[in-house]
């Protein structure tokens, strides 16, 4: 039986529903007549033309069941009324369905419409989200309005979605298109009815200063702080937020750590590979009570949060949320967290309230000498901190910002050719004491400085035997080309598997990469392995990798 669009039964309970479900016939723009149903989790629609299509095809697809499609409320970011207007016939190529549709819509091409906005994953790249809109048409205004009200009510119940955001835009980020990126994605925020207060930065440190000086009351009025820029910009905002609010005592200096470790378990601090002092990870950490991941969780190891009793304290209102929309040169944080370097994907993650926890490391600079006038200071980093090669590349490349992302290649080559090594002593508390044993490899006959056996990879799961193992302090000393510390893998276009492939998000560990002084060709080999997908950059005798609880280079 053919339905007419002004039928009185345009809305009726879903057969066998019982979950407050609702079904109505609608015209889906560019598709055909559908029976739209709402259930607890979302919307689904089934093409009604299938039975009329002589049991063969529906929209060109053989099984009518295949025509059914759906969208979850958690994937809908807006529902909009689209006024009275045209509902288009099925797209060309679907000839039969088009004919059916034309016949039915001969006199009814214009109708009331509403649009459901969501996203679709790209089939080739599932992490890449594309905007998707489904416009449903009906001759009865009331039906459209009641569906919209119901849908908007369901969306309100979606928890953790932001309503009010503070957005920092770095106009000179990456290729200098931070403002353009924001212009593109701001439309999605407007459609989703998310209010944004936008600050376009005028200089380096601008966002830091705003985050430092902003009153807690105003800060509490935002559901999150968004950076439109690169990793450096994101870290600047985190620092502005944390440094002005998290008053943590300066951790003990390297010499204090050295003395403490010696007095606790050993007559002398031994070289790398030998345990200096074993400690159970569940123990209180007396050396660095503000261990990095605890800082980002805004609680100390004993579970309290400094200043939390104060209602004006920024951490009393729950954990603040930060978002990042990529416009930078590297965008490693966005690639590691969303899996795609795409501003629209990031905007959708933010609007839909998707969240992920990140670790941050605390980087401390102590006085180099007791007479030094430079006061010690703390910084936080949510991705990577480097000394030696990486540190030199980052600081030198700032002079060439006008070159855009290419500055990293230019400066990287320059620094590589200089081949500077640095005298350093690194002390670290190794999370996996067996790591040292696992990395005593046999040498390859073909390549004497490469290893033939590789350490066994043990995935980290709940109650992980490795996480619950004893830790130990180690010390290593010598000349290094680079010392890198990562709290995420830092995947990016130059290092497709990341600088540290084993560094998982929010795993609570610092991943330390020590590159000992070696010849230029060897170092170049390491760098080319890093630039390759599936490369083995750590598999060199001059490279040490340690998963550590804390470390201290001095
Ligand atoms: N308006 C501005 N003019 C100049 N510098 C700025 C401005 N706003 C912010 N900055 C500084 O630029 C630094 C780097 O910015 P950002 O991280 O966005 O770019 P990038 O270095 O190109 O990207 P990536 O960090 O991904 O490599 C920030 O740490 C910040 O201090």
Give the C-alpha distances (Å, rounded to integers) separating 192 from 51, 187, 375.
37, 9, 47
29 is catalytic: no
CB atoms near residue 332 (< 10 Å): 26
Probe target for ligand 1 pocket from 229, 326, 400, with the most ligand atoms within 8 Å of CB: 229
Q: Are 233 and 227 in contact (CB under 8 A)?
A: yes
The active-site residue out of 231, 331, 432, 507 is 231
Nearest-CA residue for ligand 1 atom 10 is: 204
Q: How far is the CA of 173 from the centre of ligand 1 (A)?
A: 5
ipTM of the complex: 0.97
Tell me, in angstroms, the distance from the centre of ligand 1 to residue 189's CA. Answer: 23
Among protein residues, the one whose CA lies closest to atom 30 of ligand 1: 204
Q: Which domains does the chain have, with CATH numbers?
A: 12-156 (2.30.29.30), 161-248+290-303+319-382 (3.40.50.10330), 384-554 (2.60.200.40)
Assess whether the C-beta atom of 337 lies below 6 angstroms from ligand 1: no
Q: Is any atom of ligand 1 closer than 6 Å to the C-beta of 229?
A: yes
| DSSP letters spanning 245-279 | H--PPPPPPHHHHHHHHHHHH-SSPPBTTS-S-EE
Alpha carbons 237 and 247: distance in angstroms, whole number: 17
- Give pTM, 2 decimals: 0.80
CB-ligand 1 contact for 328 (6 Å cutoff): yes
State the distance from the centre of ligand 1 to the C-alpha of 209, rounded, in angstroms. 14
Digits of tens for pLDDT over the chain (554 positions)? 333 333 334 443 343 344 456 889 999 998 888 999 998 899 999 888 654 444 333 333 333 334 548 999 999 999 999 888 888 877 655 555 555 555 555 545 789 999 999 999 888 899 999 999 999 999 999 999 999 999 999 998 888 899 999 999 999 998 899 999 999 999 999 999 999 999 999 999 999 999 999 988 899 899 999 999 999 999 999 999 999 888 777 777 767 776 776 666 543 344 554 444 444 433 333 333 343 334 434 433 333 444 445 555 556 566 789 999 999 999 999 999 999 999 999 999 999 999 999 998 888 888 777 777 777 888 999 999 999 999 999 889 888 988 888 888 999 999 999 999 999 988 888 876 555 444 434 444 455 555 555 556 666 677 666 566 666 778 888 999 999 999 999 999 889 898 888 888 988 889 999 999 999 999 999 999 999 998 899 989 999 999 887 655 54
CA distance 46 to 70: 9
Residue 410: φ, ψ to 5°? -65, -55
Which residue is closest in CA terms to ligand 1's atom 2? 203
């Amino acid at each position: 039986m053919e339905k007419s669009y002004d039928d009185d039964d345009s809305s009726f309970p879903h057969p066998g529903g019982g979950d407050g479900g609702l079904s109505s016939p609608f015209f889906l723009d560019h598709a055909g007549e559908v029976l739209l149903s709402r259930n607890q989790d979302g919307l689904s629609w089934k093409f009604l033309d299938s039975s009329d299509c002589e049991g063969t095809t529906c929209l060109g697809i053989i099984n009518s069941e295949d025509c059914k499609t759906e969208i979850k409320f958690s994937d809908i970011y807006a529902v909009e009324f689209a006024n009275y207007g045209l509902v288009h016939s099925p797209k060309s190529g679907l000839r039969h369905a088009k004919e059916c549709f034309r016949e039915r819509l001969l006199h009814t091409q214009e109708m009331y419409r509403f649009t459901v906005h969501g996203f679709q994953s790209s089939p080739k790249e599932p992490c890449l989200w594309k905007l998707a809109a489904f416009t449903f048409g009906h001759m009865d205004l009331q039906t459209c309005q009641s569906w919209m009200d119901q849908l908007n009510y369901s969306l309100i119940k979606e928890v953790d979605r932001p309503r009010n955001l503070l957005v920092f835009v770095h106009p000179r980020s990456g290729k200098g298109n931070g403002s353009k990126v924001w212009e593109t994605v701001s439309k999605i925020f407007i459609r989703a009815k998310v209010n944004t207060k936008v600050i376009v930065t005028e200089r380096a440190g601008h966002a830091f200063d705003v985050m430092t000086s902003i009153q807690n009351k105003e800060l509490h009025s935002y559901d999150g702080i968004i950076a439109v820029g690169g990793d450096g910009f994101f870290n600047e905002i985190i620092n502005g937020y944390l440094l002005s609010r998290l008053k943590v005592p300066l951790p003990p200096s390297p010499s204090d750590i050295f003395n403490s470790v010696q007095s606790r378990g050993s007559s002398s601090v031994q070289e790398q590979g030998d345990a200096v002092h074993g400690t159970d990870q569940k123990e209180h950490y007396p050396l660095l009570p503000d261990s990095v991941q605890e800082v980002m969780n805004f609680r100390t190891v004993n579970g309290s949060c400094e200043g939390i009793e104060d209602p004006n304290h920024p951490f009393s209102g729950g954990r603040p949320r930060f978002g990042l929309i990529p416009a930078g040169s590297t965008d490693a944080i966005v690639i590691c967290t969303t899996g795609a370097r795409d501003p629209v994907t990031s905007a959708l993650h933010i609007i839909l309230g998707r969240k992920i926890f990140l670790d941050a490391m605390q980087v401390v600079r102590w006085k180099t000498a007791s007479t030094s006038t430079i006061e010690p200071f703390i910084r936080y980093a949510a991705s990577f901190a480097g000394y030696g090669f990486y540190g030199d590349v980052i600081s030198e490349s700032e002079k060439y910002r006008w070159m855009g992302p290419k500055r990293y290649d230019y400066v990287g080559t320059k620094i590589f050719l200089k081949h500077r090594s640095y005298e350093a002593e690194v002390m670290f508390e190794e999370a996996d004491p067996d790591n040292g044993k696992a990395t005593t490899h046999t040498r390859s006959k073909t390549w004497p400085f490469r290893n033939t056996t590789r350490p066994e990879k043990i995935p980290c799961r709940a109650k992980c035997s490795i996480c619950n193992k004893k830790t130990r302090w180690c010390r290593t000393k010598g000349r290094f080309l680079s010392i890198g510390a990562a709290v995420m893998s830092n995947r990016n276009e130059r290092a497709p598997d990341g600088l540290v492939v084993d560094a998982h998000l929010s795993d609570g560990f610092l991943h330390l990469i020590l590159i000992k002084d070696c010849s230029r060709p060897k170092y170049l080999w390491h760098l080319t392995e890093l630039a390759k997908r599936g490369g083995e950059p750590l598999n060199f005798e001059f490279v040490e990798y340690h998963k550590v609880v804390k470390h201290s280079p001095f």
